[in-house]
């Protein structure tokens, strides 16, 4: 069975997904992480991965938000916090592998902006690994995995998918 896709057609700038959780789709990976309000506004100010110290503080703050969302049964908030933890890992890994963080050659096609994937663009050669960014990635990955393994999160995710798709 194919995984449900994140709905990019909604006007997220004007939507409050806390008030309308029925409109939220988990999607795949980090889909929608920089769109869904009010969570983007609540979580993004804490998201930092430039150094292991920044990653440690950032991932702890975001994981704290994850737990706070779970405490009030807010699956959408918890899933958005999980996505920011995942994005901390993937972005730090990208910078660990590619100086300047640029992974693909060429511009993103206009109709694909905001979506994940290379969209047919070739991957640039990897540089020698940046150990600082690699450590930041490791820190975020540990918190992301901790969030994914949380039984309450898993239950709320299952309920959300059963209720809303």
Residue 109 lies inside a defined structural domain of this protein:
no
Residue 5 lies inside a defined structural domain of this protein:
no
Residue 70 lies inside a defined structural domain of this protein:
yes
* Count of other CB atoms within 10 angstroms of residue 126: 11
**Tally of domains within the chain:** 1
Residue 74 lies inside a defined structural domain of this protein:
yes
Per-residue b/e over 93-123, b at no fewer than 16 CB within 10 Å?
A: bbbbbbeeeebeeeeeeeeeeeeeeeeeeee
Residues 38-56 pLDDT 10s? 999 999 999 999 999 999 9
pTM across the whole model: 0.85
Residue 19 lies inside a defined structural domain of this protein:
yes
Peptide bond into 38 cis (omega under 30): yes
Residues 109-131 pLDDT 10s? 666 555 556 566 777 666 777 78
DSSP state of 100: G
């Amino acid at each position: 069975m194919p995984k449900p896709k994140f709905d990019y057609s909604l006007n997220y700038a004007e939507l409050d997904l806390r008030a309308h959780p029925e409109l939220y789709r988990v999607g795949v990976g980090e889909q929608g992480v920089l769109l869904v309000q009010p969570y983007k506004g609540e979580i993004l100010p804490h998201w930092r991965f430039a150094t292991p110290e920044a990653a440690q503080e950032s991932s702890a703050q975001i994981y704290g938000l994850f737990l706070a969302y779970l405490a009030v049964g807010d699956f959408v908030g918890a899933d958005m916090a999980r996505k920011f933890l995942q994005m901390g890992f993937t972005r730090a890994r990208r910078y660990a592998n590619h100086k300047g963080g640029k992974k693909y050659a060429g511009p993103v096609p206009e109709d694909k902006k905001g979506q994940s994937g290379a969209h047919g663009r070739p991957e640039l050669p990897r540089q020698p690994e940046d150990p600082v960014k690699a450590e930041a990635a490791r820190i975020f990955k540990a918190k992301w995995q901790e969030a994914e393994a949380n039984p309450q999160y898993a239950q709320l995710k299952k309920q959300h998918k059963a209720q809303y798709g």
